[in-house]
A and B are shown apart, each in its own frame.
Chain A
Amino acid sequence: MDLKLGHYNKDGIEVVDVEGEIDVYTAPRLRELLIDLVNKNNYQLVVNMEKVEFLDSTGLGVLVGGLKRVRAHDGSLDLVCTQERILKIFRITGLTKVFGIHETVDAAIAAKKLEK
Chain B
Amino acid sequence: MATVEVTFTPLPAHVRTARLVAAAVARRSGVDEALLNEVRLAVGEACSRAVEAHQRHCPAEPVRIEMTDQGERFVVVVSDHAPAAPGASSPPPGANGNGAGHRGLIEVAHEEDGGDLGVIPVGFGLAVISGLADDVHVSSTSVGVSVRMSWPSAITA
Contact = CB atoms under 8 A, between A and B. Distances in A.
Interface string A60-101: 111011111100100000000000010011011111011000
B116 A24 contact: no
Contacts of A65: 115-119
Q: Is the interface of B mostly helix, strand, loop or mixed?
A: helix
A12 interface: no
B13 to A, nearest CB: 5
B106 to A, nearest CB: 5
Do most interface residues of chain A lie in helix, strand or loop, or is the interface mixed?
A: helix
Interface residues of A, number: 33
Given A25-B13, A56-B41, A66 B117 contact: yes
Given A57-B125, A65-B116, A94 B12 contact: no
B119 A24 contact: no
Contact of A35 (B48, B110, B117): B117
Interface of B: 12-13, 15-16, 37, 40-41, 44-45, 48, 51-52, 97-100, 102-103, 105-106, 108-111, 114-120, 124-125, 127-128, 131-132
The 10 closest A-B pairs by CB, nearest first: A65-B117, A92-B131, A94-B99, A25-B12, A61-B120, A24-B48, A24-B12, A93-B102, A61-B118, A62-B118
27 contacts: A23-B16, A23-B48, A24-B48, A24-B51, A54-B40, A56-B41, A56-B45, A56-B48, A58-B118, A58-B120, A62-B117, A64-B108, A64-B109, A65-B115, A65-B117, A65-B118, A65-B119, A66-B117, A69-B117, A88-B37, A92-B131, A93-B106, A93-B124, A94-B103, A94-B106, A98-B105, A98-B110
